[in-house]
Amino acid sequence: MNAALQRGDGGKTELAGDQAEVGQSEGQLSRSLVPLEKATGSSEACGRRSRGVTDGTLQPTHSPSWEETLAVELQDEQARGDVLVLKVADSGSRELLAYYRLPVAHLRPFQHYHLELVQAHPVVPSGVRLFVSVVLKSSILPRQPCFSFTAFEVLLEAMTDPLKHPVGPLLAVARIVADYDLYRDTILLHSPSLAGIAVTLIPFPDPPESAFSLLPLTTHGRPQVR
C-alpha cells in the first residue's frame, strides 16, 4: 500500500506500507482494506468520509498487502496539529480491525520513516501490525549544511540486470554518501544487508515522540526509498 497526505499549499506527505497481520473478532479470515483519514487535535474523525481507501484484498487472508496510493489534503498552518488516521477494516462487513493515529508533529520534514505500527488486539496477543514508510514533505525545502543545493530528484527507469527470482516487490534505495569507494568497501561488499532499510517498532494507541527520534547523520547517509 502507498498513501500520500497532500497539503493544500502544494507540499505533501507520503506514506507507503506493505502488509498488516489482522483478524476479525470471530477469528475468520478477512478481505482487508485500509482507509486513510485526517483528524485535527484530539478529534477521532469518527463518522467522517475517508479521504482515500485501498481496494480489498483479492482473497481472505490474515496477512494482506497493498500497493496503492492514497491522498488527503492538509492546510499548512494546521498540519502540525493534525493526526494521520489509518484504519484496517474488512471490505465486506466494514468491521474495524485496527486503528492507528499518527501525529504529524512527530515527523521531521523530508525524513523517511520505516515503521512497524503495533496496535493491541484482544484476539491477537502479539498485536495487529501494519508496516508503513512515511515521508512528510512541506512547501519549503530546508537547506542542508555543507550542501550547495536544497533537493534533487532521481528517476529510476530500469535495471540493467533484472533479478532472476525476485522475492516479492522490489524497493529502490538511494543514499548520499561522502565517499562512495569507502562505502562500497565497508558496507556493500562485506555487509550488504546494512545498505537496506531498518524498521522501527511504534506501539499504539499512544506512540511516543521519542520513537521517531533520528540517529546522528553519518558519512554513510540515510536510505531514501521510492
Report how far residue 222's alpha carbon sits from residue 112's, in angstroms, rounded to the nearest whole number: 8
User: What pLDDT, on the 0 to 100 scale, is given for residue 59?
Assistant: 55
User: 147 vs 47, 109, 126, 137, 178, CA distance in Å?
Assistant: 46, 17, 44, 19, 11
User: What pLDDT, on the 0 to 100 scale, is given for residue 47?
Assistant: 41
Output the tens digit of pLDDT for each of the chain's 226 residues: 433 333 333 333 334 444 444 444 455 555 455 555 555 544 444 444 446 565 555 555 556 566 665 666 666 656 667 788 877 777 666 677 778 888 888 888 777 788 888 888 777 778 888 887 777 777 777 676 766 666 667 777 777 887 788 776 677 777 777 788 888 888 888 887 777 777 888 888 888 888 888 766 555 555 555 4
Phi-psi region of 47 (alpha: psi -120 to 50; beta: other; left: phi over 0): left
User: What pLDDT, on the 0 to 100 scale, is given for residue 74?
Assistant: 65
Tell me the domains of the chain and their CATH numbers. Answer: 2-141+197-215 (2.60.40.150)
Report residue 3 as a C-alpha cell.
Answer: 498513501
Distance of CA 134 to the CA centre of its chain: 3
| Strand, coil or helix: 182 | helix
Residue 219's identity, in one-letter code, is T
pTM > 0.75: no
User: 176 vs 60, 127, 153, 179, 195, CA distance in Å?
Assistant: 41, 36, 12, 9, 12
- Kindly give the residue spans of alpha helices, DSSP state H, lying in 86-216: 180-183
Report how far residue 193's alpha carbon sits from residue 181's, in angstroms, rounded to the nearest whole number: 17
Report residue 119 as a C-alpha cell.
Answer: 496496535
Nearest C-alpha neighbor of 97 from the set 60, 51, 58, 43: 60
